[in-house]
Structure 1
């Protein structure tokens, strides 16, 4: 599903200096595998995650998603439909004023037929245990609930792979428990 060969990524800091974030990462992930990447803050985990759906492109090396090179601009949208990304802070991902509208946002934008969207929304909210909050305003939810809404939004897109970038980092113990339970269930 994902093949990474000698991935290097450099950022430019405020002084114009190149800062190495990834240096020679190679990794193979098969379809159906559950993989956790661990490391200290600043070790490159989020940078690596953003390469998996072409939000970042390699400084050097290759990232292939289902055989598609992330550097191929013609494949970018195909890659992003294969690999859904849930960010660390759900507030950066939630865009609508009502939970079910937020979950429907992605499918609407990729052209899913209108009659199919409500079922995708219902199925996705059910999968993360948020059905009863469908009509609620996301800004009134707890951090764990918001993160589950963000996961539901990605599930509604039906990607083959989901990347979660530190999904429990900003949560209290109860929120962490909710997210870990959701991921285990998925």
Structure 2
């Protein structure tokens, strides 16, 4: 069977959902959610969201550089993982990059004055990456810009809609953690 004769993936999944007992309205809603979720993740992973905010701030950073800077803070403060000293190896792990690519990105951030290389407090032979005051100022600006946009996004939503969305999205992400346990 050639690709030209296969029905689109949504039609093939439609039958799986129907056979699982979902009604037509739920099938439509789940397929729409899947498509919307794909576009949301793509915008975040591709870097459209952080790049747009970096451009708004005039930061001169590419999305990958911003992702590295935020990954270092996640490592350092234990967001989504156990807190640790940020090393190039942990940066590579957090960003799913090879260590040489992570090292180049870190070096670029050092040159831009956003990171410092320091000696590990736990092991004096190891080098760690420390955010500078400029990095914290940039990230503070990023968060404020992000929340300005988020508030605009929700400005026409009722408080009840926001509460419902937050509750249901939390329930969805908990289900994702259960189904895909490799993430935290």
Please indicate, yes or no, whether the TM-score normalized by the shorter chain is above 0.5.
no
Give the greater-gyration-radius structure (CA). 2
TM-score by length of 2: 0.28
TM-score by length of 1: 0.28
Structure with the larger helix share:
2
Structure with the larger strand share:
1
Q: Which structure ranks higher in relative contact order (CA pairs < 8 Å, sequence separation ≥ 6)? A: 1
